[in-house]
Each structure stands twice: as structure tokens, then as C-alpha cells.
Amino acid sequence: YNLDPQYLEFTHPKPVTGSFREIGDDEFSLLVNLYRQFRADKTAYIHRSRDHWNHELLNPPSPGGFLCKVAYVEDGEPLGYCLYTVDPSSELGSGQRLIIRDLIWLKFSAYQAIWEYFSNMDLVSNITWTRVPVDDPLPHLMLEPRRINITARDGLLGRIVDVEQALPKRHYDEEGTLTFEVIDDFCPWNEGRWKLETSTNESSINRATEDPQLVIPVSTLALLFFGQLGASEAARMEYLEVLDDGALPLWDRVMKTRHRPCCADYF
């Protein structure tokens, strides 16, 4: 996103019932807890070590700039935060450039309140956010979404190194049994037939003796695993081989993620 906050007008604005407060340097646990709650039902968000927080998100800006940490609170409960910097090259008066480092929200009211907070910054002429989730709601909320000036670029690269370890660790909202054959030229331990049994509580994977429903290159399996593509989409692109057409709807339901994959960090 690259926008002027004067254009942050919502199609259906809602009153902000909470308030903002500055996050103190001794409240690191608040940031961690909110981030962990936010990422709980999402795909590809990483675990952040303390060093990662310090050197990426909480790293002081260049001389002349400053880092802001604000939390949004409703009825005494923190429901989101935003970490942002003001570019040291910005003018002291109007024309300041604000750069969002991290934006976390647990309820939609917190998300809209944070953007309302930015819209009231009269001295800021530009807001930049580079690590935006693909399914971020802002374009659907604004009166003039083209004012966001959205640009897309490479984001997350994912590779499944160990099929047996990776697939059961992902959350699934649908129960099902999926049989498939993996093709992997670099990790031979991944190759062969597998049976994945999923549930909302826990899942398991074992070597299969049954005929596979799909034959999947490991690169395509990563797309399904992270929720970038559904099995039917991948089949239409000939990214996989379908041996049982009737299995595609089940694959679509089982592998569907609640959110599009996103990694909000550089590493």
C-alpha cells in the first residue's frame, strides 16, 4: 500500500468505541501475546524470536526518525497494535512519511480503528505498508480503493522438506482421508504414496498401499499446504495429475485455509 491518509474514507464507517495508548518498552509480552493470537488461525506466519523482534520490528529507525508502538483497547482489553516509524527524511511539518512495520488485530473493530487513527494524522502525506496480506480487507472498505495504490511483488517462497513431518502439523477444518503420490527429485524420502487423515483436533499421515487419488509434485503440494491454490485450481493448471476426479471436492474442502498465506517478516 502507498496512500495519502486524507483518502482513508470508509464506505460504511463505524464509530470507534475503544481508545489507543502507547505501548511501553517494558510491555514486550503484550506484543508477543497479541501476535500469537493473531497468527493462530493463519498460514505461514513465523515464530518470532526475541532477537527477531529486536532487530526487525523494534529496531530503532535511522537518526532523525522515530518508532511508535500503539495498542488499541476496548473495555480494558487490548485487541490490536500497530508498529510504525516516521521517515527521518520527512519534513517536520506537513509531508511526513509513515511506514507501517506491523499491524495486528483480533477483532474487526480494532482493524478499522487503526486506519481511522491514521486518517486523522494531518501532518502525514504518505503511508507505506509493504508486508500486506493478500486478503487484507482495506481495499473492500474504502470509498475509493484505488487510492491505496496497490502494487504486488514476490512474497513468500515455501518448500516442504519433510512431507511426513509437515502435513500433520497444519490445522484442518474438515475431516477427510486423502491418498496421494508425491514426486520430489531433491528429497527422495518424500517420494511415494501417502495417506493423510485429517480432523479438527489432530491429523496423521502414513505410507499408503491404496491407489492414490492425485499424483502431486512437491512444489504443487506446497501450494495446497499453504492454501495458495485449491486442488481443483491446480488440476485446471495441470499442476497435478488427477486419478480420481471424484476426490477433488474433498481435497478442496480439506486443504482450504481460513486465510491466504502470508509471511509478515523478512528472514
Residue among 13, 161, 156, 5 nearest 84 (CA)? 5
| DSSP 8-state symbol, 130 | -
pLDDT average, residue stretch 234-249: 97
Other CB atoms within 10 A of residue 90 CB: 20
pLDDT digits (tens, 9 = 90+) for 161-181: 999 999 999 999 999 999 999
Mean pLDDT of the chain: 94
**Residue length, the chain?**
267
Res 155: pLDDT: 77
SS (H, E, C) 152-185: CCCCCCCCCCCHHHHHHHCCCCCCEEEEEEEECC
Residue with cell 512431507: 163
pLDDT digits (tens, 9 = 90+) for 202-233: 999 999 999 999 999 999 999 999 999 999 99
Residue with cell 481508545: 19
| DSSP 8-state symbol, 148 | G
Indicate whether 92 pLDDT > 70: no
Full-model pTM: 0.90
